[in-house]
Amino acid sequence: MDSITKFLKSKNSSISENSTLKSSFSGTAAGVGAIPLVGAIDITAKLDNVIEDVIDRSKILVTGCSGFIGFHVAKYLLEQGFSVVGIDNMNKYYSKQLKESRTKLLNRHKNFKFYEEDICNYGFLTKLAKKHEFRDIIHLAAQPGVRYSIENPFEYERSNVQGHLNILELCRNIKNFNKLVYASSSSVYGNNKKLPFSTQDRTDEPISLYAATKKSNEMMSYTYAHLYGINAIGLRFFTVYGSYGRPDMAPFKFTKNIFEEKPIDVYNMGNMKRDFTYINDIVYGVMGALKSNFIGHKVYNLGNSKAEDLKEFIRVIEECVGKKAIINYQPMQPGDVEETFADISDAKQDLGFIPAIDIYTGIPLFVDWYKEYYLAK
């Protein structure tokens, strides 16, 4: 029995009910630095089975390591004994203080080396590769945000297109390079009316520049796999939330404003659904991609595979906060979509990806972290 099979068997037997998840988390959120990566369930120990035979290498480059997902991925790798080289430009798209807090936690590990630099600086990347000799790259650096891309198009072209090309060129020129795992997005599906979104669906009609840049990442990666034999896996993330989450995203905004008794903007008059995915499940999926023996290029959906009603999501936050939201209903925003819903059958089969944390477990975890980080000081 291989390690992933063992992991899945143990996972399915131990997390079948939300009550079990909640009770196992009880009392673990004492102190921001002490909040475990896994939150509701002790996935860390079980993930050892996933990653124990991932690679016979010790050093991995993580781009965007001070960002939300990059931080959690780097933290997990460090805790498993890998040496992580992290790069982040620490831009001011949102609170630099939060990025610095994440980086500070990573810097506690002796096996972490951080560089504040931009992936658009190809000369720096080549020097970094020569110095550290990593053979695997987890590329999570990008300019995020659908709505922001409408106002700042050139920044998206620079960071998301030129930056991704630089990473591909770096992969091509590293001797004995092994694998690239990179972040794509559910936004590539555009206004697709077929649900759930499948990796077999057409994705040639993006409705935001951000989505277009992410689709271009997939196309460039496919081309480099074809031309140069680079092994690359793209992961289409679906509305990720959790501890140390981005302040520009709805879960954070809703929580903050409900605590402060300020209005929250809810678009499309609240008639929206999202496949909310807790950060720990995303880390699990990234590890599965890193382990995969797939040759060439392939993309996968990483989502919870449940389209949650936005109003229900807000109701659960209200319950956790203990206050009612003041809702300011707004029309649909340009570049936004009514519903996201991930078909994760490919990821289940190939990566062993089975998400474990629904919104009734994930939201309390996030709210507990928010209170500890922002309100307990």
Whether the Cβ atoms of residue 352 and residue 302 lie closer than 8 Å to each other: no
pLDDT in tens, 158-169: 999 999 999 999
Q: What is the pTM of this model?
A: 0.87
Going by pLDDT thresholds of 50, 70 and 90, the confidence category of residue 74 is very high
Residue 21 has pLDDT above 60, yes or no: no
239 occurs within a structural domain: yes
Q: What number of other Cβ atoms are within 10 A of residue 45's Cβ?
A: 10
pLDDT in tens, 310-360: 999 999 999 999 999 999 999 998 888 999 999 999 999 999 999 999 999
164 occurs within a structural domain: yes
Sheet holding 136-139, edge to edge: 112-116, 83-88, 59-63, 136-139, 179-185, 232-237, 297-302
Q: From its phi and psi, is residue 113 left (phi > 0), alpha (psi between -120 and 50) or beta? A: beta
Can you tell me whether residue 322 is helix, strand or coil?
Answer: coil
Cβ density class 220-249: b for 16+ within 10 Å, e for less: bbbebbeeeebbbbbbbbbbbbbbbbbeeb
Can you tell me whether residue 131 is helix, strand or coil?
Answer: helix
Going by pLDDT thresholds of 50, 70 and 90, the confidence category of residue 58 is confident
123 occurs within a structural domain: yes
Residue 282: give its domain's CATH number: 3.40.50.720
> Does 210 participate in catalysis according to the annotation?
yes
HSE value, Cβ hemisphere, 13 Å, CA-based, for 339: 15
pLDDT of residue 43: 44
Can you tell me whether residue 370 is helix, strand or coil?
Answer: helix
- Number of alpha helices (DSSP H) and beta strands (DSSP E) in the chain: 15, 13
Residue 301 has pLDDT above 90, yes or no: yes
Mean pLDDT along residues 198-219: 96
Cis before 196? omega within 30? yes
For residue 231, give the DSSP letter. Answer: -
Going by pLDDT thresholds of 50, 70 and 90, the confidence category of residue 377 is low
HSE value, Cβ hemisphere, 13 Å, CA-based, for 182: 31
36 occurs within a structural domain: no
178 occurs within a structural domain: yes
97 occurs within a structural domain: yes
pLDDT of residue 47: 52
324 occurs within a structural domain: no
205 occurs within a structural domain: yes
Residue 193: give the domain boundaries.
Answer: 53-244+276-306+339-357
**Contact partners, residue 95, CB within 8 Å, separation at least 6:** 247
Residue 130 tokens, joined: 């020569």
Q: Please state the domain count of the chain.
A: 1
Q: Are strands 308-309 and 273-274 parallel, antiparallel or unpaired?
A: antiparallel
The residue annotated as part of the active site, out of 76, 148, 182, 210, is: 210
Mean pLDDT of the chain: 87
